[in-house]
Amino acid sequence: MPARPLTLEERLSARGISRRQFLKFCGAMTATLALPSIFTPRIARAMNTSERLPVIWLEFQDCAGNTESFLRAASPGVADIVLEQISLEYHETIMAPAGHRAERSLDEALERHPGQYIAIVEGSIPTAAGGIYCTINGHTALSIAERVCSNALATIAVGACAWDGGWPGADPNPTGAVGVRDAVPGLKNLINMPGCPANVVNITAVIVHYLTFKQLPATDEQGRPFFAYGQLIHNNCERRGHFDAGRFVESWGDEGHRLGWCLYKMGCKGPETNSNCPSVGWNGTSYWPIGAGHGCVGCMSERFWDKMAPVYGRLPNVEGFGVEATADTVGAVAVGAVVGGATVHAVASALRARSQPITAHDGAETLVEAASRAMDVVEQIAGPVKPGEAPATEPATTEPERAIALGVLDEREDRRNGDTQ
């Protein structure tokens, strides 16, 4: 009798990754995908039983930052677990074969898995002068992207460059660099994951979502998954209380900076950038730019090199507060009086609530509508929640719940208590 193939858990165990660590990973993925925790066993089951998913990873005009991010994931890294569950057929930077043998690997992968592989694209695609600014083995990046992406089960554009041209596409864009969506228009199943780099946790979550539900996660009109890009950083930022109270860092290293106040005046782009950075953290830790004391540079926003520049320039208008007109006044009151801080918070919140309806990512629907749409998506992919499985009203995971599930809040608390372990 042929031997039963090993499950993922068994393969991981052979590599020293325990069942507990595996389940923790599944819990973290559930949280990242903003699903209720009842989905954790389902994700674990699917990860254990699904066939390996063939993946072809293309790199064009880029710095390999997304690959670095993927490989630098924590230990036991998401990369360890996901690499066990995908079959990485081609990846120039980390594959063993080189030259013609590497090219042969790509040809063979395309022949072996027509329409069944995931194409991951990193880097922008130059289109000027027939695309000659980036060629591999005599083929332009443009022709390779057309060949690989048009026959893929799905394409994931990782990082700002693969989304909209990123750094190479910044003005004056001498190579005519564009992202996948413009280089190969009309692609079905294109997922865009902007960022410089994209967070490996989110890339992994897309793959886990596919393995579990056999479909890609719900996206906005720009093809960005809601779970990762559905909320403004500003709305979930750990410094938001300081923003509302008018406590701003005025210069690097001042008292406000040391106390963790809001970085809006130092050029933070969090009020105009959609991302789950505040709850997911980077490289398997709770660290993220704003947490480390630097404002968000808006790297998940469209054409951020052009539109979000200069890095330290203040955003002219922050929706819902009119902070440009009031920040200095509010700040003076807050710094001058302890009681004033609470009052200013209340007044600022009231002003915000009155002046601006709360809107979702596209500014066209309310959060209630967005939440109800999210639940529709959950029901669509998972079927109606059965009685006894969970209360009918159980919401998808919130940002703070996600942060707790991912261990981010615990870790921040440890740091506050001086425990650096």
Q: Write out the residues near ligand SF4 by the rule CB under 6 A.
A: 233-234, 237, 239-240, 243, 262-264, 268, 270-271, 290, 295-296
Q: Which of 39, 16, 17, 14 is nearest to 28 (CA)?
A: 39
Task: Select 147 or 415, whichever has its Cβ closest to ligand SF4.
Answer: 415
Q: Return d(Cα 106, Cα 136) in angstroms, integer.
A: 12
Amino acid symbol at 321: F
Tell me the β-bridge partners of 419. none
Residue 85: partners with Cβ closer than 8 Å, 6 or more residues away:
8, 47, 50, 52, 53, 207, 211
Taking CA atoms, 151 is separated from 27, 91, 189, 256, in Å, by: 33, 17, 11, 53
Task: Select 263 or 348, whichever has its Cβ closest to ligand SF4.
Answer: 263
Please report how close the Cβ of residue 296 comes to ligand SF4 at its closest, in angstroms.
6
Task: Select 224 or 269, whichever has its Cβ closest to ligand SF4.
Answer: 269
3-state secondary structure of 285: coil
Please report how close the Cβ of residue 392 comes to ligand SF4 at its closest, in angstroms.
34
Does a cis peptide bond (omega within 30 degrees of 0) precede residue 76? yes
Please report how close the Cβ of residue 326 comes to ligand SF4 at its closest, in angstroms.
14
* Tokens standing for residue 101: 């043998």
- Bridge-based pairing of strands 86-91 and 139-140 is unpaired
Please report how close the Cβ of residue 232 comes to ligand SF4 at its closest, in angstroms.
8
Backbone angles phi, psi at 94, to 5 degrees: -115, 0
Please report how close the Cβ of residue 309 comes to ligand SF4 at its closest, in angstroms.
17
Please report how close the Cβ of residue 163 comes to ligand SF4 at its closest, in angstroms.
21
* Tokens standing for residue 292: 């480390």
Please report how close the Cβ of residue 273 comes to ligand SF4 at its closest, in angstroms.
8
Cβ 370 vs Cβ 360: under 8 Å: yes
Residue 212, number of CB atoms within 10 A of its CB: 23
Task: Select 113 or 239, whichever has its Cβ closest to ligand SF4.
Answer: 239
Task: Select 189 or 322, whichever has its Cβ closest to ligand SF4.
Answer: 322
- Bridge-based pairing of strands 190-193 and 154-158 is parallel
Task: Select 150 or 235, whichever has its Cβ closest to ligand SF4.
Answer: 235
Please report how close the Cβ of residue 238 comes to ligand SF4 at its closest, in angstroms.
7
| Position closest to ligand SF4 via CB | 270
Q: Return d(Cα 125, Cα 192) in angstroms, integer.
A: 15
Q: Which of 149, 120, 124, 121 is nearest to 62 (CA)?
A: 124
Please report how close the Cβ of residue 161 comes to ligand SF4 at its closest, in angstroms.
24
Q: Return d(Cα 83, Cα 120) in angstroms, integer.
A: 14
Task: Select 14 or 346, whichever has its Cβ closest to ligand SF4.
Answer: 346
Task: Select 224 or 239, whichever has its Cβ closest to ligand SF4.
Answer: 239
Task: Select 110 or 262, whichever has its Cβ closest to ligand SF4.
Answer: 262
